Amino acid sequence: MFTEYSLWLLIPIIIISLLGSILLYLYPKRASYNNKQLIILSSLRFIGLFLVLSLIIAPVIKHKENIIQKPIIAILQDNSSSLLLTKDSSFYKENYIKKLENVRDELSENYDVKIISFGSNSKEIISKNLKNEITYNDFATDISDCILKVNDKYSNSNLSSIILCSDGITNKGNNPLNSIKDLQVPIYTIAMGDTTIRKDLAISETRYNQIAYLNNKFPLEIIALAQKANANSSIIRVKKDGRTLFEEKFNIDNDNFLKSFTSILSADKVGIQRYTISLEILKNEQTIENNSRDIFVEVLDSRQKVLIIAASAHPDISAIKQSIESNENYEVNSYLFNQSPKEIKDYNIVILHQLPSNNPEHVKEINRINEAGIPILYIIGSQTNLSYFNSLSTGINISNTRVSSNEVSASFNPNFTYFSISKETENILPMFPPLISPFGNITSSPITQSLANQKIGSINTNYPLIAYSNNTNQRVGVIFGEGFWRWRLQNYLINQTHNQTNEIIHKSIQYLASKVDKSRFRVICDNVFAENQSIIMDAELYNDSYELVNEPEVNLTISNESGKKYPFTFSKTSNAYHLICGILPSGKYTYTAKTNYGGKVFTANGVFHVSTQNTEAISLVADHNLLFNISSLTSAKMLYPRDVEKIIDLLKKRTDIKPIIHQNISHHKLIDLWWYLLIIVLIFSIEWFLRKYWGNL
């Protein structure tokens, strides 16, 4: 116990308490009590007064508590479909799961065991029944991502060992050997799968343009792979709408056969076009799941033209232009303001970098763009004149401005509904460097939504960083900061690709430049989904004043090609609707959404495709060499599934896996402790009771 004040103060407290008890009972002496009773009553009064007066010096009790943290053992279980395409599939579904549960239960006595299933993504399993969670149905395997996520999550929480249970087949993400270089924990591996090379023919890879233009031709390259199939022959076909567009017979002349085929296809129809590639099945082939694949090509009528006008030269201009040009759907021209073209009506969207600045001519030019009804994406920076910007009626206002700026990071807004971005882009946004944004309070109209909000330091704000308005006449987007070029560089540093920053720009232009749908009820969803991807849809309903409402219920019916129907009901967001339909089998689907509002029935129809994902079936030969190297480089061992329970003894023999003892020190003021106050009340209550009781004897 300690106090903020000098302990010398206890002397006057004792004196005051002593005087109070003496003056009340001993001087003058109470005739109605005997000496023993007077001593007891005066002692109770002294103790009570002392405890009360002691609170003046604010005494504090220091409490120490030792917390033992068990070592964490992370079991990473491969949940990909390749494991069920081997001869041991029944063992993996039954006996192996029971063995894994036994390992978990026995280790749980001394360790904190975490079980994480992984494939294209990873997920921690909480359920005790692993059979319901480990179903081997994922369509890709990313070992590296799972290991890194586990290390990031538990490295500061006494992560002591990782047990990786997999066949070693990786078809997504980075090489796991590159991801374990800085890991400080042993990685034991359970070598699942089959290393035997069997007779198989597969479509290894396809290369094609995802976007083509009407009446143009585009190339399709197909790479076929065959193993243990020497002296066989097959036929490759490309079909669309039941018609064979390309066909070629070929002979397999060795046991490690690889052949490339090229076909030139014609884009003869606008919309999402589905092409089916197939290889004729060989006799006694190991698996036929990898003999066919669907690809989807979006055929457009014409390119979108994008105009970039900048107040001055800036690295953002080049970065944005490179992002746009990565999509063949867009044609880009960039100019400084004094060189900008006089004719703008041919452009579908204009990007204004730090315009308007202090030149009044900028406002005149922007008004000319507005009169033409061309969508605008504003990029606000240090040169932007915010007073001029506020006068442009964009639906966004920046007030209380100073001649200063903030470094602001991006915080994804989960309530954004105007369009969807991939999970990868959503996750990487907070990792991007801060943008330089003008200081000020930002207000926006109800039809404006932010894709990302500003994060200043560690504080998340409601100020938009990337925002869009859903104006029926002219759509407007605003990026509140300069420095996009840093995002593009960081994107490549993290993923060795610009895909995520490209997606932000592409989706922004696609949304802003698309013709405004003036219908009062609409459904928004992607045209193509992967077979292992959840079908996500959004819906919007407008009243007569063209304001978003979501009072009535919205029902949706999805139908597959055979006529089977899947009914759903949209969930309501703040002012719109959202629906996650789950995962559907590959194929073509049509949907109809209905709602009743104000006595009127509104409907919306559409089509989407679910593409086949057979990545796991391309190669079924387990890579035990990779697993052995992972264990060897981390001072661990590799075991086989039937011996998985031996991992228990291996872990118990390690002397470097120990619990951590944390000491938790807490401080409590006596005045805040209920039991201390209760003691005071009890002492005075006992004194009062005895005084009354003995006084009446």
Q: Are 144 and 179 found together in one domain?
A: yes
Strands 535-542 and 521-524, by their bridges, are antiparallel
| Alpha-carbon span 510 to 497, nearest angstrom | 21
Whole-Å CA distances, 418 to 8, 504, 514, 656: 69, 13, 12, 52
Distance CA 607, CA 165 (A): 40
CB 63 within 8 A of CB 667: yes
- The CA distance from 369 to 347, in Å, is 10
Q: What is the DSSP letter of 194?
A: B
In whole angstroms, give the CA distance from residue 409 to residue 243: 51
CA distance 237 to 305: 36
Instruction: Confirm whether 229 is domain-assigned.
Output: yes
Rounded Cα gap, residues 315 and 335, in angstroms = 13
pLDDT along the chain (697 residues), means of 10: 74 86 76 80 88 83 75 93 85 92 92 91 89 86 91 86 93 85 89 88 87 83 92 94 93 92 90 90 86 86 85 94 87 89 86 91 88 91 89 83 80 86 89 90 87 90 90 85 94 92 91 77 87 87 85 95 93 91 89 93 92 73 92 93 92 84 74 85 89 72
Amino acid at 435: L
Indicate whether 457 and 328 sit together in one domain: yes
In a domain, residue 616? The reply is: no
Q: Does residue 531 lie within any of the structural domains?
A: yes
341 and 381 in a common domain: yes
State whether residue 649 is helix, strand or coil: helix
Domain annotation covers residue 341: yes
For 214, the token pair is 């009407």
Q: End of a domain among 470, 495, 513?
A: 513
- What's the CATH number where 429 sits? 3.40.50.880
Q: How far is CA 66 from CA 62, 104, 136, 276, 662, in A?
A: 14, 26, 42, 64, 6
Q: What is the DSSP secondary-structure string of 289-328? A: GGGEEEEEEEEESSPEEEEEEESS--HHHHHHHHHHHTST
Query: Does residue 293 sit within a domain?
Result: yes
- The residues facing 212 across adjacent strands are 299
Q: How far is CA 282 from CA 82, 253, 254, 279, 632, in A?
A: 20, 14, 15, 9, 39
Residues 6+ positions from 15 with CB-CB distance below 8 Å: none
Q: How many CA atoms lie within 13 A of 147 on its CB side?
A: 32
685, 633: one domain: no
Residues 223, 137 within the same domain: no
How many domains does one find in the chain? 5
Spatial distance between the Cα atoms of 515 and 348, rounded to a whole number of angstroms: 10
Distance (Å) of CA 680 to CA 12, 22, 459: 19, 19, 45
Last residue of a domain, one of 513, 536, 570: 513
Residues 606 and 643 reside in one and the same domain: no
- In 356-452, alpha helices (H): 360-371, 386-390, 423-428
The CATH number that applies at residue 586 is 2.60.40.1930
Cα(522)–Cα(541) distance, integer angstroms: 7
CB neighbours of residue 647 within 10 Å: 24
- Picking from 248, 253, 201, 251, the residue whose alpha carbon sits closest to that of residue 221 is 248
Structure tokens at 50: 């002392």
Half-sphere exposure of 513 (CA within 13 A, CB side): 22
Same domain, 507 and 415: yes
What CA–CA distance (Å, rounded) separates 509 from 487? 18
DSSP β-ladder status, 528-530 and 600-611: parallel
Residue 80 DSSP class: B
CA–CA separation, 570 and 539 (whole Å): 8
Last residue of a domain, one of 574, 590, 611: 611
CATH of the domain at 172: 3.40.50.410
Q: What is the CA radius of gyration of the chain?
A: 36
Same domain, 412 and 496: yes
- Summarised one tens digit per residue, pLDDT across range 595-652 is 999 889 999 999 998 887 667 777 778 899 999 999 999 999 999 999 999 999 999 8
Q: Are residues 585 and 607 in the same domain?
A: yes
Q: Flag whether the pTM goes above 0.85.
A: no
Sequence-ordered list of residues with C-beta below 8 angstroms from that of 121, at least 6 positions apart, any chain: 142, 145, 423
Looking at the fold, whether 352 and 415 belong to one and the same domain comes out as yes
The residue range of the domain holding 274 is 200-299
Strands 217-227 and 256-266: antiparallel
| Omega cis (within 30) before 356 | yes
Residue 71 contacts residue 112 (beta carbons within 8 Å): yes
What backbone torsions phi and psi does residue 497 show, to the nearest 5 degrees? -155, 160
pLDDT score recorded for residue 587: 86
What gap in Å lies between CA 279 and CA 585, rounded to an integer?
21
**In contact, 349 and 304? CB cutoff 8 Å:** yes
Same-domain check for residues 374 and 486: yes
Cα separation, 569 vs 551, whole angstroms: 13
Task: Provide the Cα torsion 362, 366, 367, 373; round to 10°.
Answer: 170
Residues 633, 187: Cα–Cα separation, whole Å: 9
Task: Please count the residues of the chain.
Answer: 697
User: Given this model, what pLDDT does residue 697 score?
Assistant: 46
Q: Are residues 332 and 403 in the same domain?
A: yes
Tell whether 253 is covered by a domain.
yes
| For helices 315-325 and 499-513, angle between their N-to-C axes, nearest 10 degrees | 80
* DSSP-H helix ranges across 55-197: 89-93, 95-107, 143-154, 176-179
* 403 is a domain residue: yes
**CATH number of the CATH domain containing 242:** 2.60.40.10
Question: What residues does 438 pair with on adjacent strands?
Answer: 405
CB neighbours of 264 closer than 8 A, spacing ≥ 6? 217, 218, 219, 220
Q: d(Cα 530, Cα 288) in Å, to the nearest integer?
A: 20
Identify the DSSP state of 626. H
Structural domain contains residue 346: yes
CB atoms within 10 A of CB 571: 11
